[in-house]
Structure 1
Amino acid sequence: MAMDSRGSGASGPLLPWLRWSGTGLAAGAAVASVLAATSSGLAAYYARMIVIPNRRREDLEILAVAGAAGERRVVLPATAETTVPGRYALYVAGGTKRALIGDVLSLDGSTVTRAVTGGDEAALAAATRGWWSGDIIADPSEIGLAHEDVQIGTPAGLAPAWRIDPDDTRTAEATTWVIGIHGRGARRSETLRGAAVMHRLGYTMLAIAYRNDGEAPRADGGRYGLGGTEWRDVDAAIAFALDHGAERIVLLGYSMGGAVALQTVAQSTWADRIGALVLDAPVVNWTDVLGYQARLNRVPDSIGQFSQLMISHSAGRAVTGLVAPVDLKSMDWVSRADNLRTPTLIIHSVDDDFVPAGPSEELARRNPEFVRFVPFEAARHTKEWNVDPERWEAVVADWLPTALQASDPAPR
């Protein structure tokens, strides 16, 4: 669709021609109507993309797999993701199999060769495509943590969670429960990258599933509420923790899980029991993120803004399938910075190309009393731990006990 210099729709340049002809006016009105319908259709499509849970696509070509077991290496296209140092997973066979990927061995400009460090190497050798992920821990036992499979009674139904107890459950620290909240399109295993440090600190952890994530029940028409509905499942997890001995709560949120955590603090019955937030690459302003994503996908500003209107207005429900509109304004924590009174640690890479770090940094600048922003470099979205797990864990271990001591909510 043609655009003028301001990025508005193509109907603008038609106006001088329409003034001169009645015939032109009728034809122009028809063209404008088609353009309006097209814009509306594109906006509707983009709005649905935002709120409908998506399945991961095998969008990464596997060029070659070589070497014997224990010395295997994989050759991939050199991309902004595959060339970053760190530890990753390469999911194949529709996401049912996973190989663990380690160091960069060579880089020639168009391809990168990396070490294969474990996982299902046979499935990797048989695959031609897969997807790249920072989610490298399938369950707590992979990092040596004993766990219990539990069910959380959420408003959407029973949702699975892993309960990971500390080695000594008799300590005061054990009454602090960390609730791991994964991001959009991810599962509870995403939060296990934070489990080891929480275990060393002596805390109990719940890594939870929530509505519409593929593990928990389907609800709300199968649509994401971008935090506006999912927080209720976190609220149920808090109630579960309190019923099982918790005295204070830490919310550990990744990406959209950060938005869910912030909505929980704002709306939960148990907000006074939440002692701290640890947020990794969080969405602290959906309007900013959606605008950025629209530009990244070359969606015209007018269509991107129209799609946000469809999501946030009741009139858009017929198009989006949302049970209720999403209150994007309430999710702008940069504008609401003064309302955040819970100690919050934000870890966010300045090289995040999916949820830019700018709003996280600005939130901390506006609310230095309660928010600490720690920038990482090189890491892509929610992969700060993958690039530098020692630093990630050190930042959390240095900040969290002190923050909890300062907040110290009194038990009911």
Structure 2
Amino acid sequence: MRLAARPRPDAARTVLRVLGGATAALGAIAVTTGAAALAIAANAARAVVTPPGERPEEVILHGVDRASRTVTVSATSETELPGRYSLWFDRGRGHARVGTIVGRGPGVVIRELLSVERGDLETATRARWGAWYYLTPVDLGVEAEDVTVDTEFGPAPAWLVPAPDPSVRWIIQVHGRGVTRAEGLRVVPTARAGGWTSLLISYRNDGEAPSSPDGRYGLGDDEWRDVAAAIRFARERGARQIVLMGWSMGGATVLQTVLRASEARYVDGVILESAAVDWRAVLSRQARRRGLPRAIQALATRVLSEPWGVRLTGRAAPIDLDRLDATARAAELGVPLLVLHSDDDPDVPIEPILRLVAAAPGDVRLERFAVAGHTRLWNFDPHRFERAIGAWLSQLPEPSGRS
């Protein structure tokens, strides 16, 4: 991990004064000074709330076979998963779709090459694996309207994909961290088959919607306001039954909408896909994957959540991680829930999901996968994924017609 710039002396003194006895804990780990530990923790905390720039291309491309329409890539935990995926190359300018695994070799996987939407895959040497498969509604062959949702920072672009017949049933899709509204396109065919209109929104700091003044993510602590704006938009366009679906951080955002927005009274159900329902658990999992010592993990969490930490993260305000813990507030949800998650999710552990499912009242259903990864449940097994969502939607009560 690249270390952040050394904090200004006044910032470091402020942190150490607030932490009080943290110096002794820091001495137990492999850092030589409190300032060095603080720099590592600040870097980790800042990375969590900073929208990503150019993504690393970690998949090695070994070649394309035109005759067999296959592509050979390096074997990783992601490229070895069955299913259909995106392959981004040429620093994001190129895009291809890959499918079934048709062969393996030492350190490589040979996959079916389904299409190349743009770029020259044959000259590329590295790529990035991606879960969101469709890029725009055009890929689905459906009509869609480009609309904007009025948020507190300005108009945020969205796609409105109507049901085949006029419908008052709407699904609002809320994408995850570091991706765009295209993530939710995988659910549009299932929604349309059930007679639901889809609204796929953008939100602050996602690269499409207007940014907040600080340009930082709130992990759902701020973004729920943009979902509330989308609910208002849907209501103005005739929606009388609304389901919110959130992916990863979008799941955290959806749950905060239900718990905090006045518009929550119009929400008739929630679908969670690989959702972050307890950020402390998520941050701990990701810190362990990066090899950060426990003391640094704890300090990074304090940087995110304490008032003095805003000087290090660039956020306008600290993040209230207790308020974002939906497992602790599960009894307040009170709407039907469909929860889709995988045991092997490398980013968001399933244990908080199980606590949420056990504690939430009313109709709560868990579709539990074993080896589908993070936000890749559709890619891994689209039939099971679509069947679970379609069946759940069909069993929701008829729209109430409330005004």
TM-score above 0.5: yes
Distance 1:368 1:153, change over 3 A: closer
Superposition pairs for residues 172-183 of structure 1, below 5 Å?
Answer: 174-183=167-176
| 1:360–1:409 CA distance, 2 compared to 1 (3 A) | farther
* Matched residue SS, 2:395: helix
Cα distance in 1 for residues equivalent to 2:356 and 2:330? 6
Are the equivalent residues in 2 in contact too, given 1:276–1:404 (CA < 8 A)?
Answer: no
Question: How far apart, in 2, do the equivalents of 1:237 and 1:269 lie?
Answer: 13
Matched with 2:27 is 11
Superposed, 1:69-218 pairs within 5 Å as 71-120=68-117, 123-169=120-166, 174-218=167-211
Deviation, structure 1 residue 358: 1.8
**Structure 2: which 5+ residue stretches go unaligned?**
1-23
Tell me, what secondary structure is at the counterpart of 2:147?
strand
Q: Specify the alignment match of 1:285 in structure 2.
A: 278
| Larger gyration radius, structure 1 or structure 2 | 1
Correspondence list, 1:4-403, <5 A = 11-12=27-28, 34-55=32-53, 56-68=55-67, 71-120=68-117, 123-169=120-166, 174-367=167-360, 369-403=362-396
Query: Per the alignment, do residues 130 and 404 of structure 1 end up closer, same or farther by CA in structure 2, a change over 3 Å counting?
Result: farther
Cα separation, 2, equivalents of 1:154 and 1:272 = 19
Larger helix proportion, structure 1 or 2?
1
Is the CA contact (8 Å cut-off) linking 1:340 and 1:370 kept in structure 2? no
For 2:347 and 2:314, the matched residues in 1 are separated by: 25
Structure-1 separation of matches of 2:70 and 2:253: 38
Q: CA 1:404–1:325 in structure 2 vs 1: closer, same or farther (change >3 Å)?
A: farther
Write out the 4+ residue segments of structure 1 that deviate beyond 2 Å after TM superposition.
Answer: 119-122, 366-371
Q: CA shift at 1:368, angstroms?
A: 5.6
1:373 deviation in Å? 1.4
Q: Structure 1 counterpart of 2:94, which letter? A: K
| Aligned position for 1:24 | none
CA contact (8 A) 2:162 2:192 kept: yes
AA at the equivalent of 2:78: E
Distance 1:62 1:103 in 2: 16
Q: Aligned letter for 1:148? A: E
Asked if the contact 2:61–2:125 (Cα under 8 Å) also holds between the matched residues in 1, the reply is yes
Give the counterpart letter for 1:39 in structure 2: A
SS in 2 for 1:107: strand
Q: 1:328 to 1:220 in 2, by over 3 A?
A: farther
TM-score by length of 1: 0.88
Gaps of 5+ in 1: 1-7, 14-30
One-letter amino acid of the structure 2 residue matched with residue 221 of structure 1: D
Letter in 2 for 1:119: V
Aligned equivalents of 2:351 and 2:92: distance in 1? 32
Secondary structure of the residue aligned to 1:403 is: coil
Structure 1 residue 216: deviation in Å? 0.9
Q: What letter matches 2:143 in structure 1?
A: A
Tell me, what secondary structure is at the counterpart of 2:356?
A: helix
> Is the 2:82–2:101 contact (alpha carbons within 8 Å) kept by the matching residues of 1?
yes
Q: Structure 2 vs 1, CA of residues 209 and 12 (structure 1 numbering), >3 Å: closer, same or farther?
A: closer
Normalised by the length of structure 2, the TM-score is 0.90
1:66, CA displacement in angstroms?
1.7
* In 2, Cα distance between equivalents of 1:103 and 1:136: 14
Taking the aligned partners of 1:409 and 1:267, their CA distance within structure 2 comes to 22
Cα shift at 1:92:
1.0
Indicate conservation of the 8 Å contact 1:256/1:282, yes or no.
Answer: yes
Residue of structure 2 in register with 1:411 after alignment: 402
The 3 A distance-change label for structure 1 pair 404 and 126 is: farther
Displacement of 1:409: 5.5
Residue 334 of structure 1 deviates from its aligned partner by 1.5
Deviations 1:91-142 (A, max 9, x none): 1122122100011011234111101001237521121111001111011121
1:276-303 CA-partner distances (Å, limit 9, x unpaired) = 0011000010000001100111011111
CA RMSD of aligned residues (A): 1.8
CA distance, structure 2, for counterparts of residue 12 and residue 168 of structure 1 = 64
Distance 2:108 2:376 in 1: 21
Match of 2:3 in 1: none
Aligned in 2, Cα 1:80/1:114: closer, same or farther, shift over 3 Å?
Answer: same
- SS at the partner of 2:269? strand
Q: Identity across aligned pairs (percent)?
A: 38
- Does the CA contact (< 8 Å) of 1:275 and 1:409 recur in 2? no
1:12 offset after TM fit, Å? 4.0
- CA deviation vs aligned residue, 1:341-387 (integer Å, no higher than 9, x gap): 11111101112111122211221122263422110122111000001
Instruction: Give the AA of the match of 1:77.
Output: S
String of CA shifts for 1:170-220, please: whole Å, max 9, x gaps: xxxx11111110000010000111111011111111101111111111114
Tell me if structure 2 keeps the 8 A contact 1:360–1:373: no
Moved more, 58-67 or 133-142: 58-67
Cα 1:409–1:361 change in 2 (3 A) is: farther
Q: Is the 8 A contact 1:273 1:409 kept in 2?
A: no
Amino acid at match of 1:316: G
Deviation at 1:314, TM superposition (A): 1.2
How many residues are paired up?
Answer: 379
Q: SS of the residue aligned with 1:102?
A: strand
